[in-house]
Amino acid sequence: MTGVLPLLSVVKGTEISYLGGKYVITNVIALDKVLAKNLDSGTLETLPIAELRPSGKEADDRETQKNIDLQDVSSEDWEIARHKLELIKPLLRPGAWGSAVAARIAEQSDITLGTLYRWRRDYLDTGLLSSLLPVKREGGRGKARLQDPTVEKIIADNIDNYYKTDAHPTVAATLEKIRIECEAAGLKVPHYQTVRRRVVWSAGREMTAARYGEKAARELHDAIEGQIPDADWPLGIVQIDHTPCRSSSWMMNCANRFCGRGLPFRSTSIAALSRVCICR
């Protein structure tokens, strides 16, 4: 069964998730980009809308569910998943569910309607019983969950002293160095996704400056102060740009079908706040 992405509201003030980080949208600057504030570092960043995800516990739970090793799931957890499936079965039959049915199940089971609908959505997205397994929380967003602090220290040192350099090493190359050091110390080698998450948590202006220079960090993360007064809301000010087409072409007047040779202009209206092309 094909999974369905959760709905995302792309409006000013919406809390979102991007590459594991938490952001709040401050402006929609284009049809495919938003300007958002990183809640951890406080920096403004331009983010692609296509890669944004809803923020919050539900998004984290789904990502955690994907990485579960089913061989380690206890029989008690499987029993909990089967119990959840029994509860939502009346809501899975086409035309056989509604708010009254859901409210009755929620009241009898002492759970909230939101929880019940979330279980139903998670199961319909995957069709797998494992999507209803309870999520084990051992830390939080941006918190380390490895049991061995020595491995954490090795990961942090390699990110700071190897990945965060202008040589632009990849996460895979960083993991290889971590693997060599862990095996030499007789420690368990961390998973690729573990190292990648640590890199994502470290991402930001400082990371960009270390890898690509201050100029790139300034262009990517720092807000560009505008010079247009009173352009504080969408369509508050619309600019008209007339650009000559640098090649001769035949022009036709649709009213009298007159053809004449000349240098045409292309006129485009642009919203001053978002820089979105309105019409041309």
CATH class of 15-58: mainly beta
Q: What is the pLDDT of residue 271?
A: 83
Mean of per-residue pLDDT scores for the chain: 75
| pTM, two decimal places | 0.34
> 131-140, pLDDT tens digit by residue?
788 766 555 5
Asked if pLDDT for residue 182 goes beyond 70, the answer is: yes
Stated as kind and residue range, the H or E segment containing 47 is strand 44-48
Q: CB–CB of 210/162 below 8 Å? A: no
pLDDT band at 2 (very low <50, low <70, confident <90, very high): very low
Q: What is the pLDDT of residue 178?
A: 92
Architecture of the domain made up of 149-221: Orthogonal Bundle (1.10)
Q: What is the pLDDT of residue 174?
A: 92
β-strand partners of 269: 240, 279
**Domain locations in the chain as residue ranges:** 15-58, 69-132, 149-221, 238-279
Q: What is the pLDDT of residue 1?
A: 40
Q: CB–CB of 126/85 below 8 Å? A: no
Q: Which residues contact 129 (CB under 8 A, 6 or more apart)?
A: 78, 81, 82, 85
Asked if pLDDT for residue 229 goes beyond 50, the answer is: yes
Q: What is the pLDDT of residue 249?
A: 45
CA dist., res. 176 & res. 155, Å (int): 11
> 187-217, pLDDT tens digit by residue?
888 888 888 888 888 778 888 888 888 888 8
As a whole-number percent, the residues of the chain with pLDDT over 90 amount to 4
What beta strand segments (E) does 32-143 contain?
Answer: 33-38, 44-48, 53-54
Asked if pLDDT for residue 259 goes beyond 70, the answer is: no
CA dist., res. 76 & res. 241, Å (int): 66
Q: What is the pLDDT of residue 98?
A: 60
200 token code pair: 């994502």
35 token code pair: 């300007």
Q: What is the pLDDT of residue 258?
A: 47
CA distances from 44 to 24, 142, 221 (A): 9, 19, 6
